[in-house]
Amino acid sequence: MHAIRVYQVGGPEVLRYESVERPSPGRGQALVRVEAAGINFIEVYQRTGRYKVALPFTPGSEAGGEVVEIGDGVSEVKVGDQVASQNLVGSYAEYALAAAERLVRLPAGVTPRAGAAVMLQGMTAHYLACSTFPLAAGHTCLVHAAAGGVGLLLCQIAKRRGARVIGTVSTGEKAALAREAGADEVILYMQEDFATETRRLTAGAGVQVVYDSVGRTTFAKSLDCLAPRGMMVLYGQSSGPVEPVDPQVLAQKGSLFLTRPTLAHYVATQTELLERASVVLGWVADGSLKVRIGHEFPLAAAAEAHTELEARRTAGKVLLIP
Ligand SMILES: NC(=O)c1ccc[n+]([C@@H]2O[C@H](COP(=O)([O-])OP(=O)(O)OC[C@H]3O[C@@H](n4cnc5c(N)ncnc54)[C@H](OP(=O)(O)O)[C@@H]3O)[C@@H](O)[C@H]2O)c1
């Protein structure tokens, strides 16, 4: 089979398309023929060495496809099932393995491609809006990178929970997408001071929660957007890591809460994974959550896909097609 291999950390060019041996499922595992692999920003951090991974490795964890082989002791799925998961090991490949208990069977009406596009980012948007800070009517939230993969899903889920949504994006084109996803207001944060704008849009009151995936360039000003006792949810760092924070700043800026959540802890058990996934996939199946697959690249063009993602030229989901 073909897969992307990384032998040294570096730029997109370290993503090499190669022939490798097809893996076999061990006890409790299932082998999935990948129909589409999801690209997520975490793979950029791993490729560049910002997040440490033992070399060599095949990147990727998210995909949708069909179960083609199961190991001993597997009862969760059977051969022929259409599944998706954010825990497939090395999903930038034609085939990938997962623990069977981490696979989710796709409901009728959700294709493996849509499954690949929504598992990781959809469940992330879900836990952010429903668990980390459960949004409700009367809340206003600020969503950075609102036209991104997580961003477009988060805008929609925040709206369905009744919140007012202020989004930030870099271009007019992305602003239109964020509005389509439900953002009530959109700030072009490369041109305008988003803290001043957020204060203006909330008549000085500030927002109850900031969902910040951008990190270095937005973190400090995001604190200035919060109402007293608001929550700063730092869940990514696409512009780079945030400087260390003095907890006293949280007191000075209004007895703020700060959390740095990650999906793994919000789908830690199989029960929580299946509950969260079934809500998100159910919304996709009934058409109430729109998944925007913005870009599809052949597996062999993984380097090009990373280049586009890092250059901020993508909106919505980026998929690799083996
Ligand atoms: N904690 C978790 O559980 C979790 C789960 C999933 C994802 N994440 C994180 O969430 C973030 C978004 O992930 P995603 O896969 O949906 O990516 P994405 O938002 O589709 O892509 C990144 C976006 O960030 C914005 N950005 C701002 N400054 C940037 C810079 N210097 N370089 C690159 N992009 C920049 C760009 O939007 P504009 O052009 O509009 O500025 C860009 O399109 C990532 O940081 C990811 O690691 C965290």
How far is it, in rounded angstroms, from Cα 224 to Cα 193? 11
Task: Give residue 21 CA to ligand 1 midpoint distance, Å.
Answer: 33
Q: Which of 242, 140, 248 minimizes the C-alpha distance to 197?
A: 140
Identify the bridge partners of residue 17 per DSSP, sorted by sequence position. 4
- The SS3 assignment for 57 reads strand
Predicted confidence at residue 94, as pLDDT, reads: 98
Task: Give residue 148 CA to ligand 1 midpoint distance, Å.
Answer: 6
How far is it, in rounded angstroms, from Cα 225 to Cα 164? 14
Count of CB atoms within 10 A of residue 228's CB?
11
Predicted confidence at residue 259, as pLDDT, reads: 98
Over the stretch 121-175, which tens digit does the pLDDT of each residue have? 999 999 999 999 999 999 999 999 999 999 999 999 999 999 999 999 999 999 9
Query: What atom of ligand 1 comes closest to residue 149's alpha carbon?
Result: 16
Count of CB atoms within 10 A of residue 308's CB?
18
Mean pLDDT value across residues 101-127: 97
Predicted confidence at residue 131, as pLDDT, reads: 98
Predicted confidence at residue 213, as pLDDT, reads: 98
Ligand 1, pocket-test mutation among 153, 156, 213, 216, most atoms within 8 A of CB: 213
Each as own residue / partner, the long-range contacts of residues 308-313 (CB below 8 Å, 24 or more positions apart, any chain) are 309/39, 309/41, 309/44, 310/12, 310/44, 312/170
Burial label, 61 (beta-carbon count in 10 A; 0-12, 13-18, 19+): buried
Helix (H) or strand (E) holding 18: strand 16-19
Task: Give residue 24 CA to ligand 1 midpoint distance, Å.
Answer: 34
Task: Give residue 211 CA to ligand 1 midpoint distance, Å.
Answer: 11
Query: By percentage, how much of the chain surpasses pLDDT 70?
Result: 100
Predicted confidence at residue 3, as pLDDT, reads: 98
Pocket of ligand 1 (CB under 6 A): 40-42, 120-121, 124, 145, 147-151, 169-170, 174, 213-214, 217, 235-239, 261-263, 309-310, 312, 314
Mean pLDDT value across residues 251-256: 98
Structure tokens at 132: 């980390």
**Could you tell me the sign of the dihedral formed by the alpha carbons of 18, 84, 319, 57, in that order?**
negative
CA atoms within 13 A on the CB side of 28: 3
Query: What atom of ligand 1 comes closest to residue 311's alpha carbon?
Result: 33
- The SS3 assignment for 41 reads coil
Q: Which residues are CB-neighbours of 123 under 8 A, at least 6 positions away?
A: 86, 263, 266, 267, 276, 277, 280
Query: What atom of ligand 1 comes closest to residue 39's alpha carbon?
Result: 15
Structure tokens at 44: 């950029």
Task: Give residue 236 CA to ligand 1 midpoint distance, Å.
Answer: 7
Measuring CA to CA, how many Å separate 184 from each of 67, 90, 125, 315?
Answer: 41, 38, 17, 18
- The SS3 assignment for 89 reads strand
Over the stretch 281-322, which tens digit does the pLDDT of each residue have? 999 999 999 999 999 999 999 999 999 999 999 999 999 999
Structure tokens at 64: 């949708």
Alpha helices for 71-135 (secondary structure H) = 112-127
Over the stretch 6-65, which tens digit does the pLDDT of each residue have? 999 999 999 999 999 999 999 999 999 999 999 999 999 999 999 999 999 999 999 999
Task: Give residue 224 CA to ligand 1 midpoint distance, Å.
Answer: 21
Q: How many whole angstroms from its chain centre is CA 271? A: 20
How far is it, in rounded angstroms, from Cα 313 to Cα 142? 22
Q: Which of 73, 65, 126, 117 minimizes the C-alpha distance to 99?
A: 73
Beta strands in 173-225 (DSSP E): 185-188, 207-212
Report the chain's mean pLDDT, rounded to a whole number. Answer: 98
Task: Give residue 76 CA to ligand 1 midpoint distance, Å.
Answer: 33
Over the stretch 194-239, which tens digit does the pLDDT of each residue have? 999 999 999 999 999 999 999 999 999 999 999 999 999 999 999 9
Ligand 1, pocket-test mutation among 119, 222, 312, most atoms within 8 A of CB: 312
pTM over 0.95: yes
- 76 and 101 in contact (C-beta within 8 Å)? yes
How far is it, in rounded angstroms, from Cα 183 to Cα 211? 13
- Any idea what the Cα angle at residue 195 is, between residues 193 and 199, rounded to 5°? 120
Burial label, 45 (beta-carbon count in 10 A; 0-12, 13-18, 19+): middle
R_g (Cα) of the chain, nearest Å: 20
